[in-house]
Chains A and B, each alone.
Chain A
Amino acid sequence: METQAPTIAPLKASLQAILQDLPLLYPELTLGLGVLLVLLGALLIPRSWRNEGLAVLSLLVIAASAYMLLYKGLPAEPVHLLARTLQLDKMAVAFRLLVLLSGLLAVLLSFREGKKLAGEYYALLLGLLMAAMLMSMASNLLLIYLSIETASICAYLLTAFSGGREGAEAGLKYLLFGAVASAIMLYGMSLLYGFTGTLDITAYGFKSGLMSLNIPILPVLLAAFLVLAGFLFKISVVPFHLWTPDAYQGAPLPAAALFSTAPKLAGLALMMRFLSHFLEAGIIFAGLRFDWQFILGLLAIITMLVGNLAAVWQQDARRLLAYSSIAHSGLLLAAVLVFRALGYKALLFYGFVYILMNFAAFLLVSMLKAETGSYKIADYRGLGSRLSYSSVLMVVVMIALTGLPPTAGFTAKLLVFSALWEGYSSGGSSMLLYLLLTGLATTVVALFYYLKIPYYLYLKKQPEAVVQVEGSTVLERILAGALALLLVLFFFRADWVMNWIEAFTISQ
């Protein structure tokens, strides 16, 4: 908010505009209030049922936020909020819903881990969700930075939450890496501000400033790339992915599952928004033939290759999932690069399905950990006969992650591939074709490491009777079953998801 209002009359109008904007931000405000409530709850709820109470409270907060979003926060047409710092359109609503969905699943997953964690855990989780939701709306460099930073700080703390050496180490690594990435991004932003004199990327001044002939083109490109680097860090695209395996291994499982969905999807939304404005401004760069699609496509290809190839060698289920998440990032980025409504739809579908299968995978890993006391894939040997329920679900989820029928993972991959092909065949860059080919090739690689888990579960013999440690809870079993069921269901009824996505398609 501008404190030094130039004249009096517009001041009143802008204050009233802010008041009018507030209802559209109720979802975020609910989450923010939820953070405070959870903190209060952690102080007031007796220890005996604190974890359950806080988890239920968080669920309620998320549900209330979703309610606000669906029944109060749908603008008729794209609007700018809070003095043009936020841009609320259908895309933002879709991504905010996805973020809330992943938050819901994360809290449900946290019932077990939460016991070991203090009350701030849920508060940080809600804070992360709020920041991710703001990220998917931010259209002002300052707010972009603030939301990314809030999400990151919550994520650093969550990473360190599992306690012990492993958690502290992972948290510190993540923090240092993130600090450098955000410094780089901030540098890029300051350059952009210097070139244009405005922080609002939707403003006319931003475009005209960039297109001004007084500024040489290379520094602009450099600045833009530095800002993109910050986003790529959140999405964990190579070479900004190095924190991912360590952080996922050290973080509590539900938090790791959340990192690989909510901030990632919000980062993609942010990237789409930023690129769309930047590409508009970039018309004048045509003479230079600078091709964002090419450079980002190259990164996506490398990400897919590195993620999949490195995953083949992993022994730890969490690290395997971390590399798998990197590989999926590459594919999600590829969907962004189609720059068309089709790619956007594919992205939403993939994002939705990815949330389901990713949480299912993390949940099953957590259940198997409860049964065997280990995250090592080698320790899953021969569990298929003893833990038939979890094992069957694991097979379903792994098939979904690989992208094979009859699961929604297949449909999602198919949509992305066909969007890439559509983009290429209707006169797009040949980069899209390379992306498609890499995606296909890496799917074959993915088959090796995803199916390694079923291979150990079913085809390897159990060495000796393993002592059961904790055992999974009924809630976990139901949740895992439901997620797997949905994965299969949405293969057969993909149109249900597609109908939902159609409602949130931006009319570009």
Chain B
Amino acid sequence: MAAGVLLLPLLGALLVLLLRGRGHWLMIGFQAVALLISVYLFSRLWPGNSDAATISPALTHARWNWFTPGAGYPFTLGIWLTIPAALLLVVVNGVALLVQLFSVVYMWKDPGFNRYFSFLGFFVFAMLGIVLADNLFLIFCFWEGVGLASYLLIGFWFNKPQAAAAAKKAFLVNRVGDIGFLIALLIFYAQFRTLDLAALFQLMPASYIQSGDWQAVWSGAAGALPAILLTVAGFGLLMGAIGKSAQFPLQIWLPDAMEGPTPVSALLHAATMVAAGVYLLSRVFPLLTPMVLDITAFIGATTAFMGAFAAFAQHDIKKVLAFSTISQLGYMVMGMGAGAYDAALFHLLTHAFFKAGLFLSAGAVIYALHEAAHRRHTHFDAQDMRNMGGLRRKLPFTFVIYLLCMLALAGLPFLSGFLSKDAILTGTMGWASVARKQWGILAWLVPLAGFTTALLTPIYMGRQLFLVFFGYNRLSDGNEVSYGAIREVPMLMRFPLLVLALLSLGIWFSFDAFDFQGAWPMRLLQLPQVAVPGSLTEYQAANRLFDIREAAFRYHTFTGVVSAILVLMGLLLAYLIYHLFNGRGSFYNNKFVFRSRITRLSYSNWHLDAIYRRTVIAFGLGLMHFANWLDRKVIDRLVDLLGMSGVVFGHVVYWFDRTFIDGAVQVSVWVAGQAGHFSRSMSGRVQQYLLIMLACMMAIILWMFF
């Protein structure tokens, strides 16, 4: 059944390609069926509905033999439906369905309509593959599939040079992370001769570390590997997650990826694809050593802060959301690293809904402005916030949706974001109080970054809210006429928006708006048994996790109060800075540019692109130039020499060829041609056919007789 969920979008994608007319209904139909099945599967796994004993293994874990390497165990492929996987199934399919509904209107006029839906279907297929696969290699395959799908979708308007470049950038940056992933795969395979996750979870605790060697315990175990490789493998997996989830230092691709169609941004870069990294970390959580987890927490914290900071000074409505996504993903990774496994996944869930809602409302704004420009035959950048303002009156519905989702993102109590963000912050507090023993004062930097981000988030989101929806409209240079032509978006677009906004309410997740512990995702998600062998650090990893969670419990009330205060403060600051003291937004017109050093640092995303250009890319180019020089001056010379002798020899051969071989070939071609001509020399007269046949028969019979 789970395989059905996996294959339905693929089937839809293929059929849509075959279809001549518009194929959206087909894809959406398949998607809806997939969603229904996922909901059913999820309900089956719900602890109350059927206890673990009655759930058949066939439902949760199905394996098939793929091939058997020369000597060793068969290589299996399979589907492993765990509770997080089932949850993700519902989220991915649900958001995908809503995005597809939204896209019907958004992409209606695009000539690549069917191609678009087919790509979406393929993307969902690959994403579900990551979610369901029970095998690291299979995950890697689908991982690359997601990479390909995102490449295709970001570069969907490949005629635009920026879109093509962004697609290429996303693809290449992701490959950097994939190298790490691949290294991890190789290490695990070398050690255990299997990449099956369930098998790894059993083999891993059995292995042990002794005097710097990591020894596997199973019947065919070879010699030990150096212990450091266990950590290296963990880092490899982390690197993969960093690439896909746009974490520091590889977060540069995500803002550029906003060149794709906006619904794509909602699906890929908010709700699902970037979540793949976080999900991967959760899937392999038991295989990560405490060292790796700590580094994960630091990286997440860094990313959360950097992303939030970079979101401050952007003009593009989608780029603000893109940086906010980076920041929120940083939260999740940070939570994952801090051992708040359940909180990170909870945030992944809530974030998927409100961020998809935000992107789709941004899409609705862009669509409305674009249509208005079209109606009045004007032309302006429909994504630039400098051309917006005062849209609350024109797009009241979109405004309400945006407001709800934005407050959820900001983490206002009673909305979903507050619960999950709080859970992560509490987890980091607990982590810091335990990790203090290794990292000293540095450990407190992680919760500090978390709280800072919690303050920054309402500020930059408030900035966007006020600049887009409040104040006066800032269209100018003859484009003012378009303001009157702005219409609310069609009903088919409103429906997904409404659903997503409703899902951003906290009430769905927990009745008590301040108690994330009581939220059902938190109760549902069990902390997995840590499987890495001990003695790498002073004490067992599992004990450490236990300590962390014990410590976190103490900070529950503290973080709740502090973060609520921070959010309210942030919103107030945003109102003051960007609305009241900003001439109700009127200074932010299309002449506006960021001038100060701080805002330019934010605008350029910490100058990361420039830094990479000067270091990594410059180094690469230098290497290229050197190789080029080597090639031309040394190798080419040799080749030339060889070539010269070849030419001389060639002339000799040529003469021989012309005279003898060619003659023979030409004769045989001529013979073949004539034979062909003869054998098809049919007049079409059946009498002649019969004559030929009988004559041949007679010849054969005569030959038989003599």
Interface stretch, picked from B33-41, B484-492, B516-524, B672-680, is B672-680
Closest to B684 in A: A246
Interface stretch, picked from B263-271, B308-316, B686-694, is B686-694
**A458 interface residue per 8 A CB criterion:** no
In Å, the complex CA distance between A239 and B698 comes to 11
Interface pair A242/B682, CB less than 8 Å apart: yes
Find residues 1-60 in chain B having any chain A CB closer than 8 Å to their own CB: 15, 17-20
A245: chain B residues at CB < 8 Å are 680, 682
**A478 interface residue per 8 A CB criterion:** yes
**B218 interface residue per 8 A CB criterion:** no
* Cβ of A17 to closest chain B Cβ, rounded Å: 40
Beta-carbon contacts of B663-706 to A below 8 Å, as 1s and 0s?
Answer: 00000000011011101101010100110111011001101110
Using a Cβ cutoff of 8 Å, how many contacts connect chains A and B?
74
CB < 8 Å neighbour of B18 from A240, A243, A312, A478: A478
Interface pair A225/B700, CB less than 8 Å apart: yes
* Cβ of B11 to closest chain A Cβ, rounded Å: 11
Closest to B695 in A: A239
B18: chain A residues at CB < 8 Å are 389, 474, 477-478, 481
In Å, the complex CA distance between A290 and B703 comes to 11
Closest to A471 in B: B20
A299: chain B residues at CB < 8 Å are 700
A246: chain B residues at CB < 8 Å are 682, 684
CB < 8 Å neighbour of B686 from A172, A218, A445: A172
Interface pair B672/A218, CB less than 8 Å apart: no
Beta-carbon contacts of A283-314 to B below 8 Å, as 1s and 0s?
Answer: 00000001000010001000001100110111
B696: chain A residues at CB < 8 Å are 238-239
Interface pair A309/B675, CB less than 8 Å apart: yes
Find residues 444-492 in chain A having any chain B CB closer than 8 Å to their own CB: 445, 471, 474, 477-478, 481
Closest to A311 in B: B676
* Cβ of A377 to closest chain B Cβ, rounded Å: 15
B686: chain A residues at CB < 8 Å are 172-173, 176-177
Interface pair A309/B693, CB less than 8 Å apart: no
Closest to B674 in A: A309
Main secondary structure of the interface of A (DSSP, over half): helix
Beta-carbon contacts of B102-121 to A below 8 Å, as 1s and 0s?
Answer: 00000000000000000000
A239: chain B residues at CB < 8 Å are 692-693, 696-697
Find residues 228-252 in chain A having any chain B CB closer than 8 Å to their own CB: 229, 238-240, 242-243, 245-246
Closest to A240 in B: B693
Known: A222-B704, A310-B676, A445-B672. Is A176-B693 also a contact (CB below 8 A)?
A: no
Main secondary structure of the interface of B (DSSP, over half): helix
Interface pair B680/A177, CB less than 8 Å apart: no
Closest to A319 in B: B680
Interface residues on B, range: 20 to 34
In Å, the complex CA distance between A48 and B657 comes to 67
Known: A242-B682, A309-B676, A310-B676. Is A180-B704 also a contact (CB below 8 A)?
A: no
Closest to B687 in A: A176
In Å, the complex CA distance between A418 and B690 comes to 36
In Å, the complex CA distance between A177 and B682 comes to 14
**A498 interface residue per 8 A CB criterion:** no
Find residues 543-601 in chain B having any chain A CB closer than 8 Å to their own CB: none
Closest to B672 in A: A309
**A221 interface residue per 8 A CB criterion:** yes
Known: A222-B704, A246-B684. Is A177-B676 also a contact (CB below 8 A)?
A: no
B679: chain A residues at CB < 8 Å are 305-306, 309-310
With a 10 A CB-CB cut-off, give which of B19, B676, B705 has the most chain A CB atoms.
B676
In Å, the complex CA distance between A306 and B693 comes to 14
Interface pair B676/A313, CB less than 8 Å apart: yes
Beta-carbon contacts of A403-427 to B below 8 Å, as 1s and 0s?
Answer: 0000000000000000000000000
B697: chain A residues at CB < 8 Å are 184, 229, 239
A306: chain B residues at CB < 8 Å are 675, 679
A176: chain B residues at CB < 8 Å are 686, 690
In Å, the complex CA distance between A382 and B701 comes to 50
In Å, the complex CA distance between A229 and B698 comes to 12
With a 10 A CB-CB cut-off, give which of A240, A243, A310, A313 has the most chain B CB atoms.
A310
Closest to A326 in B: B679
A310: chain B residues at CB < 8 Å are 676, 679-680
Closest to B680 in A: A310
In Å, the complex CA distance between A477 and B701 comes to 49
CB < 8 Å neighbour of A177 from B17, B689, B700: B689
In Å, the complex CA distance between A184 and B693 comes to 11
Closest to B681 in A: A310
Closest to B689 in A: A242
A290: chain B residues at CB < 8 Å are 704
Interface pair A474/B690, CB less than 8 Å apart: no
Interface pair B689/A225, CB less than 8 Å apart: no
* Cβ of A476 to closest chain B Cβ, rounded Å: 10
B704: chain A residues at CB < 8 Å are 218, 221-222, 225, 290, 295
Interface pair B19/A313, CB less than 8 Å apart: no
B680: chain A residues at CB < 8 Å are 245, 310, 313-314, 323
In Å, the complex CA distance between A295 and B692 comes to 18
In Å, the complex CA distance between A503 and B693 comes to 39
Find residues 416-446 in chain A having any chain B CB closer than 8 Å to their own CB: 445
A225: chain B residues at CB < 8 Å are 700-701, 704
In Å, the complex CA distance between A310 and B676 comes to 4
B677: chain A residues at CB < 8 Å are 313
Interface pair A242/B693, CB less than 8 Å apart: yes
A180: chain B residues at CB < 8 Å are 690, 693-694
B682: chain A residues at CB < 8 Å are 242, 245-246
In Å, the complex CA distance between A295 and B700 comes to 8
* Cβ of B334 to closest chain A Cβ, rounded Å: 45
Closest to B675 in A: A309
Interface pair A312/B693, CB less than 8 Å apart: no
In Å, the complex CA distance between A437 and B15 comes to 45
Closest to B17 in A: A389
* Cβ of B329 to closest chain A Cβ, rounded Å: 38
In Å, the complex CA distance between A176 and B688 comes to 12
Beta-carbon contacts of A208-238 to B below 8 Å, as 1s and 0s?
Answer: 0000000000100110010001000000001
* Cβ of B695 to closest chain A Cβ, rounded Å: 8
Closest to B14 in A: A481
Closest to A312 in B: B676
* Cβ of B67 to closest chain A Cβ, rounded Å: 11
Closest to A241 in B: B693
In Å, the complex CA distance between A299 and B700 comes to 10
B690: chain A residues at CB < 8 Å are 176-177, 180
Closest to A179 in B: B690
* Cβ of B616 to closest chain A Cβ, rounded Å: 38
Beta-carbon contacts of B319-348 to A below 8 Å, as 1s and 0s?
Answer: 000000000000000000000000000000
Beta-carbon contacts of A254-284 to B below 8 Å, as 1s and 0s?
Answer: 0000000000000000000000000000000
In Å, the complex CA distance between A172 and B17 comes to 43
* Cβ of B591 to closest chain A Cβ, rounded Å: 46
Interface pair B675/A242, CB less than 8 Å apart: no
Interface pair B676/A474, CB less than 8 Å apart: no
With a 10 A CB-CB cut-off, give which of A290, A299, A313 has the most chain B CB atoms.
A313
Interface pair B692/A242, CB less than 8 Å apart: yes
Known: A177-B686, A471-B20. Is A222-B701 also a contact (CB below 8 A)?
A: yes
Name 27 A/B residue pairs within 8 A (Cβ), A-sorted.
Answer: A176-B686, A177-B686, A177-B689, A180-B690, A222-B704, A225-B700, A225-B704, A229-B697, A238-B696, A242-B693, A243-B689, A245-B680, A246-B682, A295-B703, A299-B700, A305-B679, A306-B675, A306-B679, A309-B673, A309-B676, A310-B679, A310-B680, A323-B680, A445-B672, A471-B20, A474-B15, A474-B19
**New A-B contacts (19) at CB < 8 Å, excluding given A299-B700, A313-B676:** A173-B689, A176-B690, A177-B686, A177-B689, A221-B704, A222-B701, A239-B692, A239-B696, A242-B692, A242-B693, A243-B689, A245-B680, A290-B704, A295-B700, A309-B672, A309-B673, A389-B17, A477-B18, A481-B18
Cβ-closest 5 pairs across A and B: A239-B696, A309-B676, A242-B689, A310-B680, A306-B679
